[in-house]
Every structure is written in structure tokens, then in C-alpha cells.
Copies of this chain bind each other. A is one copy, B any other.
């Protein structure tokens, strides 16, 4: 039982996501201190909400396993999706200004998260400069994320948006050391549409074309990138990568 608990509740020090997630750039001792305030929650099941619009903000959440979707509901009740979050990603940063959550976060799969109480994190952060720096980096990353998404929505056509989406997910798997040309992705096509400002019909047509052209095959939840180079070209990254994994300061 003790062993099982250890495996399941592996602390930050044993966590495979150390290089991606919060502890990036921290020394062993600091990680231990961070670890002491982290609450490992029991996993969410598909469809469970991690938080909802209007709820008071208390904690940031780091994804350990699964996928979380962040979305808003318009007056007319339609979903506007703002992002998908994979293991190692941190969500909730946006809630700080409002002291409450402005968006909904829902698990798309069985998903486990670490909750980091913000008031404790803030105190600890003041004591550990590297952690404070890491906080700034995480938030800066969040700013970039929104900017990049705005760029995609305002200047790219439907094919390019879908290509960019698939390629950006692939890159994130790559950065985590997973297979990235063939992977399982529990995201509905309609969710992709709602994220990219398109309709499900359009996404469906584009994926049909992609399969026919042997660019990408995405059937059920299995994604297989056939022609990486053509996908990259179509996705059209600017010079800046979609994801930054490391912004450590060299410390003396």
C-alpha cells in the first residue's frame, strides 16, 4: 500500500515531468520545498470540471496525466475553446487578476492534476528566487500562447489552422519525449473546430483531404502524421516556436 501510494503520488522529485513542469530550473532542495505545498488530487474522470467560470481562485493546477480543455460559453451557449493542456502544463494563471476563474476547465480523459495553493506558492516564491523566476516564465509563456493563437486565428485559412493545430500538438509530445508522429489524442474534431474558429464540417472536410493526400491520418483518436515536412510547411511556424520549455536563469 505504501508502495502503491508512492508510485501514484510520486512527488516532484520523482516526477517524469520535472523538465517541463513547475520545478524546471530548481535545485533538489527547492523542489522538495515546492513539493511540500503541492496537493495531489484524486484523478478527474472524463467530463469532470477542474474549475468553472465564477469559482473563487485558490490554486494553480499542473497536469500530471490526461488532457484538460479550457473553454468559455458565449451568451448563445456555444463553446469557445481557448486551449488544450497536456501533462506538464500549468493552468489557472489567468484567474489571478480577477481572483476568480474566468474560464471553465474540463477533463477530456481520465486526468490527474497537482494543485498548488497560490497563497502558499506566493510565500514560497519570495523565498526561492529561482521559483519566482520560474513563475514569471510560466506566465510569460501564457502571454505568448494567447498571442500566437490570435495570430493563427487572424491570418491563417482553414487548412493552415488545422495543420498548425496538429503540428503544435505533435511538438508538445516531442518536447515531452513521447512519440510525435503517431499518437493518441482524446480531442473531438468538434473541439478542434471550436478552438480554431471553424465548424466541425470544415474540419471534417480538411481531415478527409489530408488523409487522401497522405498528409495526416486522424481516425478515431489515433493521429498519424505521414508527411512531417509538408505538415510543418503548411502549419507555417514563424521563427518562434509554439512552446518554450526552458527559461532557466544561469545561477552562480
A: residues with CB less than 8 A from B are: 53, 72, 74-75, 78, 80, 82, 93-99, 102-103, 122, 125-126, 129, 132-133, 135-137, 139-147, 149-151, 153-155, 196-197, 236, 238-240, 244, 247
Cα distance A154–B154 in the bound complex, in angstroms: 8
Tell me whether A140 and B72 are in contact (CB under 8 A).
no
Tell me whether B153 and A98 are in contact (CB under 8 A).
no
Tell me whether A144 and B102 are in contact (CB under 8 A).
yes
Tell me whether A98 and B244 are in contact (CB under 8 A).
yes
Cα distance A103–B240 in the bound complex, in angstroms: 10
What B residues does A129 contact at CB under 8 A? 122, 126
With A139-B139, A139-B142, A143-B146 known, 8 other A-B pairs at CB within 8 A are A74-B155, A80-B154, A82-B150, A94-B140, A96-B247, A97-B140, A143-B145, A146-B147
Cα distance A133–B247 in the bound complex, in angstroms: 20
Closest to A135 in B: B136
What B residues does A239 contact at CB under 8 A? 53
Residue of B74, B140, B145, B154 near A96 (CB, 8 A) is: B140
Q: A122-B133, A151-B82, A155-B74 are in contact. Are A141 and B97 (CB under 8 A)?
A: yes
- Sample (20) of A-B pairs whose CB atoms are under 8 Å apart: A72-B151, A74-B238, A75-B236, A80-B154, A80-B155, A82-B150, A97-B140, A97-B244, A122-B136, A126-B129, A132-B132, A139-B139, A143-B143, A143-B145, A143-B146, A146-B146, A150-B150, A153-B154, A154-B197, A155-B197
* From A72, A75, A99, A147, residue with most partner B Cβ within 10 Å: A147
Cα distance A96–B93 in the bound complex, in angstroms: 16
Tell me whether B247 and A136 are in contact (CB under 8 A).
no
Cα distance A86–B236 in the bound complex, in angstroms: 31
What B residues does A99 contact at CB under 8 A? 247
Nearest CB in chain B: distance from A198 CB, A: 9
Cα distance A80–B238 in the bound complex, in angstroms: 12
Cα distance A222–B104 in the bound complex, in angstroms: 39
Cα distance A246–B98 in the bound complex, in angstroms: 9
Tell me whether B140 and A93 are in contact (CB under 8 A).
yes
What B residues does A236 contact at CB under 8 A? 75
